[in-house]
A and B are shown apart, each in its own frame.
Chain A
Amino acid sequence: MNILEIDLLVNVDNVANFLPQQAPFIMVDSLLETTENTAISQFLVKSDNVLVNDGILQESGLIENIAQTIALKAGYESVLRNEKPQVGFIVQIKDLSILDFPKIGDVITTKIEILMNLQQMLVIKGESFCDEKVLAICEMRVFLDNPTKA
């Protein structure tokens, strides 16, 4: 397996270069590691996050964080190939469970594993944690497309 170990090559200061999403809708900070079929990201929940309500990151933010972990892996690989990050759209979410919600100041660690790679369609399993606690688990289908110009 082709393993790329990255020492925070993608971090909060440059993450926007690897994603089609931009502020205020960036829901990942850093890419800790990526292999051919896996990736791990981290994300600090801040008070000005548009998906925080009453001090808690809502289910929308937790799901988007998993989706953007996929986008960040794909975007990182695109940039390595000198291409623009592709735009990912969630097509389907299966067996989604939200067990706990992170608060402002919590750091979420999110792991994704690609179960199937059907050209532009990725089927992944995603799981996010805060310390040892599981926050969200799901299977997700994401459609990757090239960004269209306005």
Chain B
Amino acid sequence: MKALLETNFGKILSTETQENKVIFEVSLNAKHDIYQGHFPFKPIVPGVCTLQLVRELLEIHLGKKLRFSSSKNVKFSGMIDPNTTPQITVEIQNLTTDSTQKIKASVFCKEQTFCKYDGEYVMQ
């Protein structure tokens, strides 16, 4: 199997780079296979896929493969139904040039936040 973005889980609509921060607008594909099982009665973006999506976006931005290593805190404050929320914003902060990236990420749509976390990734 491939990375989520390679299986059309979502698509990058735009990328905006600021000083040490990058902001992506991403469309979600409610027809992705994952929603046959999560859940059969209603499509909900699995929280763990949100985390993986953030890593894949960061990999694209940095042009490097990353390995997830740790997080002190991941908070999911809302569920994403890809039919009613077909587009999300992913903001990744604290980018450095180090081989270890200690980032802060938030995933939201307009006023509604779905996920916030700090994450440590190691470049491969």
Chain A interface residues (CB < 8 Å from chain B): 20-26, 47-53, 58-61, 63-64, 67, 87, 89-98, 101, 147-150
Contacts and interface: CB of A to CB of B under 8 A. Distances in A.
Interface string B78-115: 01000000000000000000000000000000000000
B37 interface: yes
Nearest to A96: B71
Contacts of A149: 41
B16 to A, nearest CB: 25
Interface in B37-63: 37-42, 46-49, 51-52, 55
A18 to B, nearest CB: 14
Interface string B24-41: 000000000110111111
Contacts of A53: 1-3
A35 B29 CA distance: 40
B36 A92 contact: no
Contact of B37 (A23, A63, A98): A23
B73 A89 contact: no
Interface in B1-35: 1-3, 7, 33-34
> Closest 6 interchain pairs by CB?
A25-B37, A60-B48, A59-B68, A60-B52, A22-B37, A93-B74
A98 B119 CA distance: 11
Contacts of A148: 41-42
B75 interface: yes
A24 B37 CA distance: 6
Contact of A58 (B52, B73, B74, B76): B52
B39 A20 contact: yes
Contacts of A60: 46, 48-49, 51-52
B38 A21 contact: yes
A58 B79 CA distance: 21
Given A50-B7, A67-B48, A95-B72, 16 more contacts: A20-B39, A21-B37, A47-B1, A48-B1, A49-B1, A59-B55, A59-B68, A63-B48, A63-B51, A90-B47, A90-B48, A91-B75, A92-B75, A94-B74, A96-B70, A149-B41
Nearest to A150: B41
A108 to B, nearest CB: 15
Nearest to B42: A150
Contacts of B36: 22-25
Contacts of A49: 1
A53 to B, nearest CB: 5
B33 A50 contact: yes
